[in-house]
Structure 1
Amino acid sequence: MNNKENKLNFKKDHTKKLKELLIGRIHQLGTFHFADNSWYFSMKHKDSLPKGNYTITFHQVPEGYKVWVKYYALLCTTSTSFTSKKCLIIARFLKFIIHNYGYIPIEKIERNHINAYEYHLKLSSNSVNLNHFTYSSLQDFFVKLTDFNEMPNIVPTKNINPFRQIRKKDRQGMIPTKVIRAWDRAMKDKTKDIPLEFRTLYWLIRSFPNRITEILSMKRDCLKSLYSEYILQIPTYKQNGGYTQEEVKSIPVIYTGHGKFVIDLIKELRKQTEELLECHELPENINSDYLFIVRYWTFMEENGGIKVRYDPRYKNNLRNWVGFMINNLFKQLTPLLNIRDEDGNLIIPTTHQFRHNAVTDRLYKVGYTTEQIRRLTGHKNEAMTKHYTHQLIEKHKEIHLGIENLRSSNDSPVEFRGKIMNLDERTTKQLSRDPRRYLTWEANGKKGVGICSDISGCNPKGTSVHFECYACDWFVPKLEYLKDYKAEYEYWMEVVDRTSGDTKRAAHFENAIRNVSYLERILKICENGIEHFKEEKLQEQLDKFNTPPVWE
């Protein structure tokens, strides 16, 4: 056997093994067979999207080419719906080949055939972006076919896509501030006839940067309690960016303020869903584990207000929501609320736009680590989230300092060498009689590193947690213990750095940020006190200098 025959046999053997390997993958995708004209990827269908998003059909592909398009579909690693779109594009190209040249074996298709189709696309009424996508799909198709040794190594398409993609102004960017605030007010107004499920969904997409499919795929048991927090579990089914299988994002939510508001909505919706399941028969295609199981309804106008109309044709039916339904509801509700931007334009938001706003606006209201932000946004690397880190910590501080309504560091009192500054005369006089009586808890191993200015009867030594004093507006730091405050601050900052990347230590991280917040405020109070003390000393010296001698 000569070398030419050896190479030919090797190619045949390689192609045979590759085909067997691809066909062997089918059981990991669904229960279909390679010969079927419709493939339902049931193994990938784990979210609330309809079955069609996980189905690829080959009815449009000419018979002589169908086997190659199927192998191509098995080689693709993109989402099922995206692969389906590309297969449809390729089918149109192959129909063009048959119509103009008759049947040509796939390996005989050359550059002149591709150029003819390119010219055909230029004469069509397609948008430039659609032509760009069409040509890139053909590029991908022929590149992947080179994995089969029976195919030529020369790819017939051009290396550079001849259709330049036009980057349109981002319509999916952030919603204007005026518009989003108007939506917030409307969705917190309980007098408006807005169903609980839509109100809850709004605040979930408003508060957390998740995709609508992820929110609609939440289970009824998505809440887990943990100390003063709840852990909100949201599934992610993103099929690129490093995801190979489903993941669950665990988001810690502080049960106070806005976090409490969202958690209570989820609890209320869970109860409503369970009641619906008890009273209605479930269709076969419904997922009964989901939180968002709803009746058929739409928004309509009635007497100048909002009215929810339940479809009488589906009086006793329930369904799972999917993304396009939510956008349709926003289209119905927007004109009823008459929410407009600064220029008076009616703005109809989309669910994906709320994701942009949540990342930069509401994200920091509930306390996440950087790693958890990556889980929230679905990003697998730090490049997309590192610019949030500083804002994250600063917002944490804002939360904790705001909870106690503490006065600013510039106006807060401070003690130095027995003198108390920035405190009313009556309280100062009372504290000066016996300062030791009002000494607070310890810091950095030392006792009495502050004064309690609550002269009405608070017993600061009655607490075993000295941060309760730091979090109190009555606390007066002592300047001589500035080094101790700094040492304690550095300790807790080290805890912040150590726990920020560990999702299992979310509570530790949140506690450390709280302590850092209070200590940073105390340090600022001390710094202001030092500056004030320096100014007073300087003024005393100036007064002495300007005082005339007694003999004058």
Structure 2
Amino acid sequence: MIKKLPEINVLNDNNKNLKKLLLGRLRQLGDFSFTDDSWYCRKRHKDSLTKGSYTLTFYQVPDLYKVWVKYYALLCESSVSRTNKKCLNIAKLLKFIHAHYPGLSIDKINKQHVNAFEYELKLSDRSNNNKQFIYSSIQDFFSQLSNFSEMPNTIPTRNINPFRQESKKHDDKMIPENVVRKWDRAFKDESLNIPLEFRTLYWLLRSFPNRITEILSMERDCLKSFYSEYVIRIPTFKQNGGYDRGESKLIPVIYSGHGKYVIDLIKRLQLQTEQLATFPSSPEVNKEYLFVVQYWIFFNNSGDIGIRFDRRYKGKVTNWTGVKINRLLKQIAEILNILDDNNELIIPTTHQFRHNAVTDRQYVVGYTTEQIRRLTGHKNEAMTKYYTHQLIKQHKEIHLNISGLRSPKNSPCEFRGKILNLDNRTIQQLSKNPKRYLTWEANGKKGVGICSDISGCNPKGTPVHFECYACDWFVPKLEYYDDYKREYDYWQEIVERTSKDPQRVAHFENAVRNLSYLERIIAICENGIEQFKEAKLNHLEIKKHTKLYEWE
């Protein structure tokens, strides 16, 4: 007699494995149990948002269906906040079914039940966009859980969302130019009673297109300096879900003009925050953030800006949220009474400032479109080479303007003992013994340039020879024209290699700096070559010494 083998239920095995994998995600999120109706995802909480923004709640879901909404939450790839909104939307359908079809198990839910809910949703006074979001959440719920055998055999929702999303008016995102200029003047006016932390926040919003959550999550130690520039480190969190921790955006800022103004604000705020960090606070307050503030609001003090501290939290500090910032913007907008061309009061939001910063580059300290694209965190690589070229060109201009160097046409150069564009006294001095004034060695050759004023400097060269390249006393030697060009190509290759890597922004900036000075030196040489030609020196004599040069 053949013994009957036991049946193997593949579906049940798959269900068990999938549930086991999902339950394993719990410890990646926080310290809670699957049976809890409130999940605080502590391990995803890496920014300045409140605890509630990282909490999933299931109180609204009928008990009969609660376990499935929890499994869906573990499957969902959205941010914690958006996942919670989706779960609340799904709860609306399940509450409707529980009220009209009591005891109906989840596998029995069909198109008829969902259509009935859809009809009620159509009759409601919700916005069309809200209806669209509710229905898309329900679609996602049944789609994500379709691999479970306990779910309906066919997905009970429509393939196409019946609620068409209303198009957004992009013009509404922008603050009118004349309005934002008035705001800028107010926040540059040190006589106005605007606290340091709010003034700094405003200019970070205006100068760089970052989200308010990113700015409020900046750490106190967010500045790094190199040469005459700084790097501001700002964390970036993908708003529609994805990152468990923030990636750092490294934003280079020239310490000049408006860039210097923003850097100095941050430095002052760092000192203030260091003092406020000693104040008492709740355990949720992160005192490593740059924005550690007291509890205050704006009020209209007889037409002037007034500050009122909350007596309930006297002597205590907190971290700001985006909601709080928008309230403060509303308060100060009403006090300043800044009107548009139609005499209407404009109350801007932090997100509007982000959009303005993307398109309005007056305060982006010389940055070009490519740099703007990096600062926004967008991943589109279209036209990257063109934008990188524009970025390099802009930075070259910034470096040379800061140095205040003479134009190449008015700068000195030397060829076979003859020096152009220097005063006679210095020419006579150098002519006596030019070897004394040679700078450093490069490419195995001595004296790649001449120092026309060695007082207080090392005539044998400097360990960082770009200090000489950046000096007006440096005199290029035309016989080393090809060496300058080879050095230029070397730094050009470094620029191309580092331009797309935000972790190597310091290398990129340094390479652009070197390129800018080499480009100037090459221009000096080419101008000198032209001057030699115009002077109609003995052609054969020049050719004897420079037969390898193209300019001959």
Same fold (TM over 0.5): yes
Alignment of 1:399 with 2:398, yes or no, is yes
Deviation at 1:532, TM superposition (A): 8.1
1:172 and 1:188 map into 2 onto residues whose CA distance is 25
Match of 2:489 in 1: 490
Match of 1:283 in 2: 282
Match of 1:128 in 2: 128
Moved more, 153-162 or 140-149: 153-162
Match of 2:335 in 1: 336
Deviation at 1:164, TM superposition (A): 2.1
1:89 and 1:368 map into 2 onto residues whose CA distance is 42
Unaligned runs of 5+ in 1: 538-552
Match of 1:518 in 2: 517
The secondary structure found in structure 1 opposite 2:489 is helix
2:178 and 2:534 map into 1 onto residues whose CA distance is 44
Match of 1:54 in 2: 54
Match of 1:377 in 2: 376
Deviation at 1:492, TM superposition (A): 1.7
- Indicate how the Cα distance of structure 1 residues 309 and 532 shifts in structure 2: closer, same or farther if over 3 A, else same: farther
Judge conservation of contact 1:452–1:460 (CA < 8 Å) in 2. no
Match of 1:324 in 2: 323
Match of 1:549 in 2: none
Percent identical pairs in the alignment equals 59
The secondary structure found in structure 1 opposite 2:280 is coil
Match of 1:541 in 2: none
2:348 and 2:3 map into 1 onto residues whose CA distance is 68
2:270 and 2:456 map into 1 onto residues whose CA distance is 43
Deviation at 1:97, TM superposition (A): 2.6
Deviations 1:45-78 (A, max 9, x none): 2322112111222222223222221211121111
Alignment of 1:269 with 2:269, yes or no, is yes
Match of 1:13 in 2: 13
Deviations 1:183-207 (A, max 9, x none): 3333232221111111222233333
- Indicate how the Cα distance of structure 1 residues 414 and 115 shifts in structure 2: closer, same or farther if over 3 A, else same: farther
CA RMSD of aligned residues (A): 4.1
Judge conservation of contact 1:292–1:320 (CA < 8 Å) in 2. yes
Match of 1:307 in 2: 306
Match of 2:200 in 1: 200
1:333 alignment partner AA? I
2:383 and 2:107 map into 1 onto residues whose CA distance is 42
How many aligned residue pairs are there?
Answer: 528
Alignment of 1:216 with 2:223, yes or no, is no
Deviation at 1:115, TM superposition (A): 2.7
2:371 and 2:38 map into 1 onto residues whose CA distance is 40
Match of 2:90 in 1: 90
Deviations 1:352-404 (A, max 9, x none): 33334445637964999989974x43446745977642333223212211102
Match of 1:188 in 2: 188
1:420 and 1:338 map into 2 onto residues whose CA distance is 64
Deviation at 1:292, TM superposition (A): 1.6
Moved more, 440-449 or 9-18: 440-449
Judge conservation of contact 2:430–2:452 (CA < 8 Å) in 1. no
2:168 and 2:530 map into 1 onto residues whose CA distance is 54
1:432 and 1:289 map into 2 onto residues whose CA distance is 58
Match of 1:243 in 2: 243
Deviation at 1:171, TM superposition (A): 5.6
Judge conservation of contact 2:205–2:354 (CA < 8 Å) in 1. yes
Moved more, 176-185 or 318-327: 176-185
- Indicate how the Cα distance of structure 1 residues 260 and 415 shifts in structure 2: closer, same or farther if over 3 A, else same: closer
The secondary structure found in structure 2 opposite 1:64 is coil
Deviation at 1:416, TM superposition (A): 8.9
Match of 1:155 in 2: 155
1:492 and 1:507 map into 2 onto residues whose CA distance is 14
Match of 2:166 in 1: 166
1:387 and 1:178 map into 2 onto residues whose CA distance is 31
Judge conservation of contact 2:46–2:245 (CA < 8 Å) in 1. no
Moved more, 500-509 or 89-98: 500-509
Deviations 1:451-475 (A, max 9, x none): 7788x98989475255444434566
Match of 1:145 in 2: 145
Moved more, 12-21 or 411-420: 411-420
Matches within 5 A, 1:372-451: 374=374, 376-379=375-378, 382=381, 388-406=387-405, 412-413=410-411, 436=431, 441=439, 445=443
- Indicate how the Cα distance of structure 1 residues 472 and 270 shifts in structure 2: closer, same or farther if over 3 A, else same: closer
Judge conservation of contact 1:467–1:515 (CA < 8 Å) in 2. yes
Unaligned runs of 5+ in 2: 537-552
Q: With structure 1 as the length reference, what TM-score do the two structures score?
A: 0.80
Deviations 1:55-105 (A, max 9, x none): 222222223222221211121111111011111111112223334444432
- Indicate how the Cα distance of structure 1 residues 491 and 449 shifts in structure 2: closer, same or farther if over 3 A, else same: same
- Indicate how the Cα distance of structure 1 residues 306 and 530 shifts in structure 2: closer, same or farther if over 3 A, else same: farther
Match of 2:118 in 1: 118
Match of 1:540 in 2: none
Deviation at 1:168, TM superposition (A): 0.8
1:185 alignment partner AA? R
The secondary structure found in structure 2 opposite 1:13 is helix
1:363 and 1:304 map into 2 onto residues whose CA distance is 29
The secondary structure found in structure 2 opposite 1:190 is coil
- Indicate how the Cα distance of structure 1 residues 272 and 432 shifts in structure 2: closer, same or farther if over 3 A, else same: closer
1:135 alignment partner AA? Y
Judge conservation of contact 1:132–1:161 (CA < 8 Å) in 2. yes
- Indicate how the Cα distance of structure 1 residues 368 and 308 shifts in structure 2: closer, same or farther if over 3 A, else same: same
- Indicate how the Cα distance of structure 1 residues 518 and 55 shifts in structure 2: closer, same or farther if over 3 A, else same: same
1:392 alignment partner AA? L
2:168 and 2:372 map into 1 onto residues whose CA distance is 31
The secondary structure found in structure 1 opposite 2:234 is strand
